[in-house]
Amino acid sequence: MPNVQSNGLRLEYDSFGNPSDPPMVLIMGLGAQMISWPVAFCEMLAEKGYYVVRFDNRDCGLSTHLVDAPAPDVAAILGGDFSTASYRLSDFADDTAGLFDALGFTTVHVVGASMGGMIAQQLVIDHPDRVASLCSIMSTTGNPNVGQATPEALALLTRPAAPNRDAAIESGVAALKLIGSPDFPTPDEVLRQRTANGYDRSYDPPAGLRQTAAIVASGDRTEGLHGVHVPTVVIHGTKDPLVNFSGGEATVAAIPGATFVPITGMGHDLPDALFGTFVDAIVANAKA
């Protein structure tokens, strides 16, 4: 796959569709590689007339991993001491803007899921002239009073690294089942294959902790979101255990004129059965 230099880092990416079509960039979430955006989903968006790009965030997949960065002290960060957080969501946003530059994009339709939604929000706050439309999926504003994970889901973020490939795959499948959509379940064999593909491509648990630290250290974006004036759609599942539904409600309330697409029975994943719903909402918003 191709890669570019952005903000002093290597970012791995791939693309779908016609480069002459309007660009749409997909930003994935915490510890999730670009392959977590399913190919079929990307192709559906491309068929609607967009040049779709997905990429690995810093500290993920085949992009640069900051292996020399200090280990984050999660307890201290949760207590308000951010000195061991190596970067913030604004750095992710700058990475993404640098990706736009490297690919020759002036303005871009931006779609972010989970932490990717947070990055997308920060991107439109920090680089408002680069974003043509915004879609925030299963994300939140950074307000600590909304979007909180259940204790069981929160434990996923701090679980110890698996000792080997088999254990990592089994742990990954269990995690995906825990946070997945109760009303739109994904077969275990599909989850297992996706988890194996991710492990074989890149496995770096300490990097996930650094990304977690960035989220916590970045604070509340609500005030900045009040100044967003691009077409925005917010998509959130009613049964999301990792980012509570209130996070989506707060996001749509913070952004003037935003449209809300609540999905009954959806958890914290992108079920195949909902691809059409996602694509319709994203495209309608982009056309706005």
CA 16 to each of CA 201, 202, 245: distance values in angstroms, whole numbers, following the listed order: 20, 22, 31
DSSP 8-state assignment for residue 279:
H
Does domain 3-287 fall under CATH 3.30.9.10? My reply is no
Banded pLDDT at 253 (limits 50, 70, 90): very high
Identify how many contiguous H helices and E strands the chain contains and give both numbers: 11, 8
pLDDT above 90: percentage of residues in the chain = 93
Mean pLDDT of the chain: 96
Distance CA 148, CA 250 (A): 12
Q: What average pLDDT score do residues 24-47 get?
A: 98
Q: Parallel, antiparallel, or unpaired: how do β-strands 9-16 and 23-27 relate?
A: unpaired
What are the phi and psi torsion angles at 224 (to 5°)?
-65, -35
Q: What's residue 74's pLDDT?
A: 78
Distance CA 231, CA 136 (A): 11
Q: Return the beta strands (E) in the chain as ranges.
A: 3-6, 9-16, 23-27, 51-55, 108-113, 131-137, 232-237, 259-263
Q: What's residue 170's pLDDT?
A: 96
Q: Is the pLDDT of residue 158 over 80?
A: no
Q: Is the pLDDT of residue 1 over 80?
A: no
Tokens of 230: 């691009």
- Domain ranges in the chain? 3-287
